[in-house]
Amino acid sequence: MRVIAIVGSDGAGKSTLAARLVAELRRQGPVEQLYLGQSSGRIADWIATLPLVGRPLDRYLRRKSEEVHARKSAPPGTAAAVVIYLLSRWRAHQFRRLLRKCRRGVLIVTDRYPQAEVPGFRFDGPQLAKTPGGNGLVRRLAASELRLYQWMAAHVPLLVIRLDIDAETAHARKPDHKLAELREKTAVLPRLTYNGAPILALDARAPAETVLDAALRATRAALATAPG
């Protein structure tokens, strides 16, 4: 599958590297950038623009999101579980777009990539699997969400570029993110295998040109040996 996935903590420079890779690789053929996060913030921003119901619904969704993160050891209630599940369905919708573009011969560079090894949206995994239990509907949604992530993770990228960074540097770049959450991310992400995909680990603290050059060399090498 002609996909180059860029992963790493917030503040590692994923979006910047993805955009620069796309700009360079366009000289060789069709290439597009695709964001594969769960898009909760972007969806909430869009909902807030809807007439009449937009702002109240936006506040409700953000409150439910905060409740989920605050209650790490307890399963979410039905309303929160439905919101989480819909976000995962949105991610799967974006993933189907990726597959259609790949079938048309487009090289895709993704910002983030879904995985089924470690639960939690923070790691691009299934959120409902993080806190098993709940009522019957919550459990059914959790099982369905897990299948979605297993299906997405089964599509192995041509190359995963992991941008490694320490939590303190990431926090200095993204001070609106909690340091504890960044520490959790920077500890977990290096352990992910992405279903056996080739992984290039780069130091995100290095100069941007150094990171870009290494990513370009690895991407071109991967494309040169890719089947078809």
Mean pLDDT by 10 residues, the chain (228 residues): 96 96 93 84 52 61 58 77 88 95 96 96 93 92 97 98 97 94 95 97 97 98 88
Q: What is the DSSP string of 193-219?
A: -TTT--EEEEETTS-HHHHHHHHHHHH
- The model scores a pTM over 0.85: yes
HSE-CB for 116 with a 13 A CA cutoff: 19
Closest CA to 99 of 215, 209, 4, 2: 2
Give the whole-angstrom CA distance, residue 165 versus residue 185.
Answer: 10
In angstroms, the Cα distances linking 188 to 9, 80, 164 are 10, 25, 11
Strand partners, 3: 108
pLDDT at 24: 95
pLDDT at 162: 98
pLDDT at 53: 53
